[in-house]
């Protein structure tokens, strides 16, 4: 089933093959993240971008092969430059002609990968505070993945979050690995509280581990249209400098669907490895404030920011000097030609505000 754009099995060997999904382009960190430079390319946590940190997490070449990166064609140069700087140049860079959510993107990666390889699928813009625990969980899940389980990683909830999917743990199927009894999309508030109380639900962190062939089999069963489109898009595809360019016309006909909905909610062979690794999707300014390093007054300062009698604020500036005096619980972002001043706790609204202001979509 390997396409002409495929990676040779010998190049991967026994190693896990990371698949980094870099196609997202949200506006939830407006005005910092814009369509031209989404969150994964920004140095939000430290001097490295989120993409670079993601690649570094699987940078041990004795355990992990050079990654497959699936990203936007418009950002190919940016991706390659950032990964080269991080000494993680991809084995294959699959350039989506347009965004079609995660299921088509993962299908492309699974077709390019050796069928027997273990794919570790990761969003490019999540933060993981304890990467050692992450790698331990991956190792724990590997045996199940070799047995053709679709392995997910479950994040222990600390609040009734309605922005994430949830996974219910079933019986143990191995050390630290459980059958996933239910796989549910974002719940309403009451359901989220029930899940938190129940204790057997974890957040779906959007990180997956499976054999390429196993995922393709599940796609064939549950989402054959997506598999067919991905195969068609890769047919007669040219590969240049390790860049794979799927056929734009063919790929555009793919339904825009998440892998959660296309496969995980339907498959009977989904496993979950719970892991408490300090995960955050950094999906809002508030979550960035939580994740970023703070001074003794609870301020996270990024760029030329001066905080005078200021507490519990996130101050981010790309360049202009930012000075705050006598304020608390604010998020202040100075980026490009815009300035955002927002009370903490309001940042879920940023996407909608950015869309209204810039005429884009959140």
Query: How many residues does the structure list for the chain?
Result: 362
Least distance CB 162 / a second copy (angstroms)? 19
Strand partners, 128: 279
Selected from 96, 340, 360, 362, the binder of a second copy by CB under 8 A is 340
Over the window 288 to 317, marking each residue x when it contacts a second copy by CB under 8 A and - when it does not, the resulting string is: ------------------x-x--------x
Selected from 343, 351, 355, 362, the binder of a second copy by CB under 8 A is 343
Closer of 121 and 292 to a second copy (Cβ): 292
Least distance CB 42 / a second copy (angstroms)? 19
Selected from 253, 338, 360, 362, the binder of a second copy by CB under 8 A is 338
Contact between residue 245 and residue 95 where contact means Cβ atoms under 8 Å apart: yes
Pairing of strands 270-274, 177-184: antiparallel
Closer of 54 and 335 to a second copy (Cβ): 335
Interaction of residue 156 with a second copy, rule CB under 8 A = no
Least distance CB 353 / a second copy (angstroms)? 7
Interaction of residue 355 with a second copy, rule CB under 8 A = no
Q: What are the tokens at 35?
A: 């369509």
Interaction of residue 35 with a second copy, rule CB under 8 A = no
Between helices 224-234 and 212-222, what is the axis angle to 10°? 120
Q: Please give the helix or strand (H or E) that residue 248 lies within, else none.
A: helix 248-252
Pairing of strands 300-302, 314-317: parallel
Interaction of residue 324 with a second copy, rule CB under 8 A = yes
Interaction of residue 318 with a second copy, rule CB under 8 A = no
Interaction of residue 332 with a second copy, rule CB under 8 A = yes
Q: How far is CA 80 from CA 4, 97, 174, 252, in A?
A: 21, 17, 38, 24
Closer of 87 and 343 to a second copy (Cβ): 343
DSSP for residue 73: G
Place of tokens 């993409």: 51
Closer of 17 and 354 to a second copy (Cβ): 354
CA dihedral of residues 15, 136, 105, 89 (deg, nearest 10): -50
- Binding residues for a second copy, rule CB under 8 A, total 29
Least distance CB 302 / a second copy (angstroms)? 13
Contact between residue 264 and residue 152 where contact means Cβ atoms under 8 Å apart: yes
Contact between residue 65 and residue 44 where contact means Cβ atoms under 8 Å apart: no
Interaction of residue 142 with a second copy, rule CB under 8 A = no
Closer of 88 and 324 to a second copy (Cβ): 324
Residues 6+ apart with CB under 8 A from 196: 157, 159, 160
Q: What are the tokens at 342?
A: 């927002």
Selected from 98, 327, 355, 362, the binder of a second copy by CB under 8 A is 327
Distance CA 310, CA 326 (A): 5
Selected from 346, 355, 360, 362, the binder of a second copy by CB under 8 A is 346
Count of other CB atoms within 10 angstroms of residue 196: 15
Interaction of residue 36 with a second copy, rule CB under 8 A = no
Closer of 36 and 248 to a second copy (Cβ): 36
- State the residues that interact with a second copy by CB under 8 A: 31, 306, 308, 317, 319-327, 330, 332, 334, 337-343, 345-346, 349-350, 353, 357
């Amino acid at each position: 089933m390997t396409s002409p754009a495929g990676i040779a099995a010998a190049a991967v060997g026994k190693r896990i093959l990371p698949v980094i999904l870099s196609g997202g382009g949200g506006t939830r960190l407006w005005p910092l993240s814009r369509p031209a430079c989404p969150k994964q390319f920004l140095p939000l946590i430290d001097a490295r971008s989120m993409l670079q940190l993601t690649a570094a997490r699987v940078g041990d070449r004795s355990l992990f092969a050079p990654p497959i990166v699936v990203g936007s064609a418009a950002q190919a140069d940016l991706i390659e430059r950032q990964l080269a700087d991080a000494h993680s140049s991809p084995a294959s860079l699959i350039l989506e002609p347009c965004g079609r959510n995660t299921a088509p993107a993962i299908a492309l990666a699974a077709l390019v990968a050796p069928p027997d390889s273990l794919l570790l699928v990761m969003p490019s813009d999540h933060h993981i505070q304890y990467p050692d625990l992450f790698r331990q969980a991956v190792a724990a899940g590997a045996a199940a993945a070799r047995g053709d389980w679709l392995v997910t990683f479950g994040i222990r909830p600390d609040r009734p979050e309605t922005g994430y999917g949830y996974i219910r743990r079933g019986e143990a199927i191995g050390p630290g690995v459980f059958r996933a009894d239910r796989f549910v999309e974002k719940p309403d508030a009451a359901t989220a509280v029930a899940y938190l109380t129940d204790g057997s639900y974890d957040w779906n962190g959007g990180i997956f581990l499976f054999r390429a062939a196993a995922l393709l089999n599940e796609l064939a069963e549950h989402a054959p249209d997506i598999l067919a489109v991905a195969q068609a898009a890769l047919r007669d595809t040219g590969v240049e400098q390790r860049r794979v360019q799927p056929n734009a016309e063919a790929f555009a006909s793919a339904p825009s669907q998440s892998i959660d909905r296309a496969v995980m909610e339907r498959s009977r062979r989904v496993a979950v490895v719970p892991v408490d690794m300090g995960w955050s999707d950094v999906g809002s300014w508030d979550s960035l404030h939580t994740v970023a390093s703070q001074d003794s007054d609870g301020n996270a300062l990024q760029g030329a920011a001066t905080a005078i009698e200021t507490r519990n604020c996130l101050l981010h500036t790309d360049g202009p000097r930012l000075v705050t005096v006598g304020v608390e619980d604010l998020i202040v972002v100075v980026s490009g030609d815009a300035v955002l001043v927002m009370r903490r706790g309001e940042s879920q609204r940023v996407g909608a505000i950015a869309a209204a202001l810039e005429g884009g979509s959140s």
